[in-house]
Amino acid sequence: MSFSPRTIAFFLAVLITTITVVFLSFVPGVTAAMLFVVGVSCLFGSFFFVFYTIDILVFREVEQIYKTIQKMKIRDFDISRKSLIRSVNPIKRLNSEISTYVTRKQQEIDELKKMEQFRREFLADVSHELKTPIFAAQGFIHTLLDGAKEDPKVLDRFLNKAAKSLDGLDALVRDLVTLSQVEKGDLKMHFENIDIKHITEDIFEQLESKAQSRGVTLKIKPKDMQSAWVLADKQRISQVITNLVDNAIKYGKENGKIIVEIEEEKKYYQISVEDDGPGIAPEHLARIFERFYRIDKSRSRETGGTGLGLAIVKHILNAHHSKISVTSKIDKGTRFTFKLPFASQELSR
Ligand code: ADP
């Protein structure tokens, strides 16, 4: 329970008045009228005396604390001098404001520490990822310069390997640029009405030869679907579907089947990319969207993976106010799912 200075002053004044009047009533010759006058003046006198004493003491301190806060130039300390002075219990108010502020600052400090840790890890990961293809290309070229170039077969093989490493480096740098742009919000999304069914067919065409080389068949479900119009950034959503189908080809089983299913819901289309590959173990499932997280590092590198594909997918979908989810069963396959809203009527007019 908390008391305001006014309430405390009132109770103390009543107490002082009662004691005074009771004592005075024992004094011979004191009339009722005298007791009344003394009582009233004592009540008012002591009330104002106590009230101003508390008030001055409390507010002097409060003002002092307020000035200190002002000196600290805390912009996000949202308490005005007026509201503080006017509040019933300023010390309590100040106390609660300070503790809210301290909690908020603590959260900010924790967040900054986490980001710092994350930045350090990211820098270490990037340097490592850059080092691998650079060292490989450097190794092949130096070996050639040291004499291996005399053998035309070795020359051809090593040049091809160096070129492959540099292609990997190029893919990595491009993915890093995309990721940092999406994260910084620099990448302006250009929302328009697009036919996701048509886009998927185009992507299937582009990935056809890669799928064929592993004997994988690509299918859209439902078969008889004519079109599926959604509101999205065409280029970025193409990138999402390409990454998911490309992964399904790379990590799915040979001679397997990949199905892109487009389901119509109430206000959106649900798009799933499903393969019948080896699946992803539960301990990896939550982490595959992290940057550079790979289940099988050598398989990923061998297939030209940068380890950034799913992180990019996640960020692009976030920018579409959508989310990617994944379910997987070992030896049965993996299914990635996301939603996109129906095309806008206004845009199609
Ligand atoms: P990468 O460039 O290595 O393909 P991604 O971010 O696209 O990076 O994927 C992260 C990891 O998730 C991959 O290295 C792979 O181990 C795993 N993965 C992604 N898609 C599938 C899938 N369809 N089936 C099995 N594993 C997958």
SS3 readout for 110-127: HHHHHHHHHHHHHHHHHH
C-alpha 49/C-alpha 10 separation (Å) is: 10
Rounded to the nearest whole angstrom, what is the distance from the C-alpha of residue 251 to the centroid of ligand 1? Answer: 7
Q: Give me the count of residues in the chain.
A: 349
- Ligand 1 nearest-atom number relative to CA 297: 14
Confidence of residue 118 (pLDDT cuts 50, 70, 90): confident
- Please choose from 239, 300, 301 the residue to mutate so as to test ligand 1's pocket, defined by most ligand atoms within 8 A of CB: 300
- pLDDT of 213 reads 96
Tell me which residue has its CA closest to atom 19 in ligand 1: 247
Rounded to the nearest whole angstrom, what is the distance from the C-alpha of residue 75 to the centroid of ligand 1? Answer: 45
List Cβ neighbours of 41 (8 Å cut-off, separation of 6 or more): none
- pLDDT of 67 reads 76
Q: Are 242 and 315 in contact (CB under 8 A)?
A: no
Rounded to the nearest whole angstrom, what is the distance from the C-alpha of residue 286 to the centroid of ligand 1? Answer: 12
Q: What are phi and psi of 23, to 5 degrees?
A: -60, -45
- pLDDT of 66 reads 76
Question: Is the Cα torsion angle 244, 249, 251, 256 positive or negative in sign?
Answer: positive
Rounded to the nearest whole angstrom, what is the distance from the C-alpha of residue 202 to the centroid of ligand 1? Answer: 22
- What percentage of the chain carries pLDDT values higher than 90? 62
Confidence of residue 110 (pLDDT cuts 50, 70, 90): very high
Confidence of residue 210 (pLDDT cuts 50, 70, 90): very high
pLDDT winner (highest mean) among 82-91, 166-175, 270-279: 270-279
Rounded to the nearest whole angstrom, what is the distance from the C-alpha of residue 321 to the centroid of ligand 1? Answer: 23
Residue 219: pLDDT over 90:
yes
- Helix then strand count (H, E) for the chain reads 11, 7
Confidence of residue 60 (pLDDT cuts 50, 70, 90): confident
Residue 1: pLDDT over 60:
no
Note the pLDDT tens digit of each residue in 239-251.
Answer: 999 999 999 999 9
Tell me which residue has its CA closest to atom 11 in ligand 1: 294
- Ligand 1 nearest-atom number relative to CA 175: 2
Residue 318: pLDDT over 60:
yes
Note the pLDDT tens digit of each residue in 283-294.
Answer: 999 899 998 998
- pLDDT of 151 reads 87
- pLDDT of 88 reads 66
- What percentage of the chain carries pLDDT values higher than 70? 92
* Mean pLDDT value across residues 71-97: 69
- pLDDT of 332 reads 95
Residue 96: pLDDT over 70:
yes
Class of 191-348 per CATH? alpha beta
pLDDT winner (highest mean) among 175-189, 288-302, 314-328: 314-328
Rounded to the nearest whole angstrom, what is the distance from the C-alpha of residue 194 to the centroid of ligand 1? Answer: 27
Q: What are phi and psi of 190, to 5 degrees?
A: -110, 95
Does domain 117-184 fall into CATH 1.10.3720.10? Answer: no
- pLDDT of 260 reads 98
Tell me which residue has its CA closest to atom 16 in ligand 1: 295
Query: Which residues have any ligand 1 atom within 6 Å of their CB?
Result: 243, 247-248, 251-252, 275, 277, 280, 288, 293-296, 300, 305-311, 334
Note the pLDDT tens digit of each residue in 131-186.
Answer: 989 999 999 999 999 988 888 888 999 999 999 999 999 999 999 998 888 877 77
Residue 333: pLDDT over 60:
yes
pLDDT averaged over every residue in the chain = 89
Confidence of residue 302 (pLDDT cuts 50, 70, 90): confident
The amino acid at 183: E
Note the pLDDT tens digit of each residue in 22-34.
Answer: 999 999 988 999 9
Tell me which residue has its CA closest to atom 27 in ligand 1: 251
Rounded to the nearest whole angstrom, what is the distance from the C-alpha of residue 247 to the centroid of ligand 1? Answer: 6
Exposure of 5 by Cβ count < 10 A (0-12 exposed, 13-18 middle, 19+ buried)? buried
Rounded to the nearest whole angstrom, what is the distance from the C-alpha of residue 134 to the centroid of ligand 1? Answer: 23
Residue 66's Cβ-side half-sphere holds a number of Cα atoms within 13 Å equal to 18
- Please choose from 251, 298, 299, 301 the residue to mutate so as to test ligand 1's pocket, defined by most ligand atoms within 8 A of CB: 251
- Please choose from 275, 284, 310 the residue to mutate so as to test ligand 1's pocket, defined by most ligand atoms within 8 A of CB: 310
Residue 69: pLDDT over 60:
yes
326: enclosing H helix or E strand:
strand 325-329
For the beta carbon of residue 287, count every other beta carbon within 10 angstroms: 12
- Please choose from 247, 274, 306 the residue to mutate so as to test ligand 1's pocket, defined by most ligand atoms within 8 A of CB: 247
C-alpha 88/C-alpha 318 separation (Å) is: 46
Rounded to the nearest whole angstrom, what is the distance from the C-alpha of residue 245 to the centroid of ligand 1? Answer: 11
